[in-house]
Structure 1
Amino acid sequence: MDPHAPHTVPVPRVGVVVIGHDDAAHVTAAVRSALAQGPVVGEVVAVDDCSTDDSAELLTRLAASEPRLRVVRRRVDSGGCGSPRNTGLDRVTSPYVMFLDSGDLLPPGAADALLRAATDAGTDVAGGLCVRREVPEKGREGRDKGREVPWEARLYSSHAVYESPAQRPRLVHDTLCVNKLYRTDFLRDHGIRFPEGRFRHGDLVFSARVLAAGPRIALVPNRVYVRHVRGAGRLPGAPDAAGIADWRARTEASRAAYEILLAAGRKELAREARAKFLDHELRMYACELESRDAHHRRAWWTLTRAYLAEYDAIDWEHRPTAPGCLVGRVVLASPEPRDLPRIRALASRPA
């Protein structure tokens, strides 16, 4: 921005949808980070997904002194992120919308940077850099406290504008919805919504629906979203220690994303979605397979082989020497789990 340009007051054009469930410890900080974006944010819609703690009361109290804040209380716990996000999207009246989870933050200037990118280039979508910040449990603080890891930094190394996602297939790899600003009417005109209910990893499906619609997209190198990693340090989206359910949900969401792109005639993007599964999901879960018990290994192996069997020769030739592709070939080569140290070594290589 030119420091000598005439000062203008930003017009309120952005609505921020904040969702939360039983997160009273963090939800007000998230909402305040949205309000602190300044006058560019004209409304914050906080959707409480039937919390049993003090979340709704805290939000209602905050709304009494914040005219831009509206609180929506859902009567039934949806069990996921999609339904409350859709509820918020239905309430937004602003020309542009962003999404924020209750445990995370919008850094100062995020909304302004994304709005400027979208309006200057006339795009339907603008995206920026998301960083994952480690927040250790009390008493376990160490040298990694506050460490930030960028997500898909290659995409956000500089300003860019793309006439369609086909110009930058790597966009498929950034399946987050929270580091982006969307033109509200673009989402509504194309009927783009999140999967309802207990659908896990719904960002993958939502992002595929966005890309399938072929929007013009602007990217900025600005840090626009801080995703907090709390507790023992497990990253968001990392394998679920409770069992195989999370992996099954990952494969189902990835399959749905592929089918959405393919049905829209975005064949190159659909291929890239399958490559992304190998590069990201498969490698991430394969790295920890050796540490699981025999029952989990067999279940994971069977499920993974069934999913990878849907790939064709062109999928495997897309990036044949990529670590994820090599891991996938090892899994397909045997009906039973094998070579786990080798799989871990391959999966640990940089993509």
Structure 2
Amino acid sequence: MSAIMPEVSVILPAYNCAGFVERSIRSALDQPGVALEIVAVNDCSTDDTLAVLQGLSRQDPRLRVIDSKKNLGPSGARNLAFEQAASEWGAILDADDALAPGALERLVRIARSRDADIVAGSVRFFSHARQEMSRAVFKEDAPVTVLGLREFVDGARPHNREPDYGLLKPLFRIPFLKEHGLKYRTDIRHGEDFHFVVEALVKGARYVLARDVLSYIYTTRDSGLSRTLVDYGRMIGETQTLSRHPSFVADPGVSSAFRRRADALRVHELNELLGKADSLPSKLRVARKSLRTSAGQGWLKKKIVKYIGR
């Protein structure tokens, strides 16, 4: 009897995650109602990650392990996994995170019924240190909606009315990606998901957001598990570049959405820097940095008004 062809390939880059990757893998293997495979790329780890992955693959053949002899970064590892994927759908999963129970079956069903190329559900946040799950961060009883390029970019920013759409971990229809030659940018290691989705939408992808499906559990940064290198300056610069791209300038709504994202990232970076400033000189350095942009100046004015009002 022939093996069942998987419907979903879970794409999992793995770098120095021996102590916690099993949780991530189990959350995928335990998904009910959907035939799946996990394509895990050991990204030249220096710990026991490869041994852990190989041990789990011997227990469950749905886990395929690719041992990269070169460190590719999260984008390169995902690109390699997508090339090897045997399914219609690719689900991004990071080694420190988890899939919510039943998420894949529900998202695949919605994607097919809505003729989607990209489908995402809602997210929650898990603190490993406190062993606590956040409350709903989306209005999870909201209807299923379609996101065009402007809607996605406008929602992909911090301090918005909803969580940053750039944080979502969608399922991608792999034939669409291959048809258009879409790959993750390997020169970006923070915010690469945002650029990947933008490229897909530019190519005509239909993006469906199902807020009523809890699909992804992020492990918060205070847990110390994430290997992502935070680079807000690069994210801001890349977003500004997109806002000036001729094809986006031609659509004022899209160009404005990129500019709003850049400004929101500036404010977010300033808040992060201020939170880490532990002396008056370091706080003054943050204040000087804020004066370089209008968004930063507005942020500083609000801080001053709040301080005076105490």
The answer to whether the superposition gives a TM-score over 0.5 is yes
Mapped contact 1:202–1:253 kept (Cα < 8 A)? no
AA at the equivalent of 1:223: L
AA at the equivalent of 2:54: T
Could you say what secondary structure the match of 1:162 adopts? strand
Could you say what secondary structure the match of 1:51 adopts? coil
AA at the equivalent of 2:10: V
Query: 1:14-39: CA deviations, max 9, x gaps?
Result: 11101121010111211111111135
Mapped contact 1:125–1:180 kept (Cα < 8 A)? yes
Structure 1 pair 147/31, CA: closer, same or farther in 2 (3 Å)?
closer
Could you say what secondary structure the match of 2:199 adopts? helix
What is the rounded CA distance, in whole Å, between the counterparts of 1:234 and 1:23 in structure 2? 8
Which deviates more from structure 2 when the two are superposed, residues 156-165 or residues 224-233? Answer: 156-165
Shift of 1:179: 2.4
Q: Does 1:134 align with 2:131?
A: no
What is the rounded CA distance, in whole Å, between the counterparts of 1:260 and 1:149 in structure 2? 38
Query: 1:47-91: CA deviations, max 9, x gaps?
Result: 11111111111111111221211101111223x311111111111
Shift of 1:330: 3.6
Mapped contact 1:172–1:269 kept (Cα < 8 A)? no
Mapped contact 2:44–2:67 kept (Cα < 8 A)? yes
Q: Does 1:122 align with 2:115?
A: yes
Partner of 2:179: 189
2:96 to 81, 103, 107: 103
Structure 1 pair 39/256, CA: closer, same or farther in 2 (3 Å)?
farther
Shift of 1:258: 3.7
The percentage of counterpart residues that share the same residue type is 23
Structure 1 pair 14/36, CA: closer, same or farther in 2 (3 Å)?
same
The two structures, once aligned, show a CA RMSD in angstroms of: 3.5
Unmatched runs of 5 consecutive residues or more in structure 1: 1-9, 241-245, 309-324, 332-337, 346-351
What pairs up with 1:163-178 in 2 under 5 angstroms?
Answer: 164-166=148-150, 170-173=154-157, 174-176=164-166
Q: Which has the higher contact order (CA 8 A, sep 6+)?
A: 2
AA at the equivalent of 1:249: R
Mapped contact 2:240–2:262 kept (Cα < 8 A)? no
Structure 1 pair 222/148, CA: closer, same or farther in 2 (3 Å)?
same
Structure 1 pair 75/277, CA: closer, same or farther in 2 (3 Å)?
same
What is the rounded CA distance, in whole Å, between the counterparts of 1:276 and 1:263 in structure 2? 14
The alignment's TM-score, normalised by the length of structure 1, stands at 0.71
Partner of 1:160: 144
Could you say what secondary structure the match of 2:215 adopts? strand
Aligned residues, how many? Answer: 294
Structure 1 pair 168/63, CA: closer, same or farther in 2 (3 Å)?
closer
1:211 to 184, 201, 211: 201
Q: Does 1:248 align with 2:240?
A: no
Could you say what secondary structure the match of 1:176 adopts? helix
Which deviates more from structure 2 when the two are superposed, residues 181-190 or residues 167-176? Answer: 167-176
Query: 1:97-133: CA deviations, max 9, x gaps?
Result: 1100000000111111110110011111111101111
Q: Does 1:282 align with 2:266?
A: yes
What is the rounded CA distance, in whole Å, between the counterparts of 2:245 and 2:36 in structure 1? 33
Query: 1:148-193: CA deviations, max 9, x gaps?
Result: 1555x25x54232428445676444444365211111112222221
What pairs up with 1:254-269 in 2 under 5 angstroms?
Answer: 254-258=239-243, 262-263=247-248, 267-269=252-254
AA at the equivalent of 1:130: V
1:341 to 286, 303, 306: 303
What pairs up with 1:21-170 in 2 under 5 angstroms?
Answer: 21-78=15-72, 80-136=73-129, 141=130, 145-148=131-134, 150-151=136-137, 153=138, 157-162=141-146, 164-166=148-150, 170=154
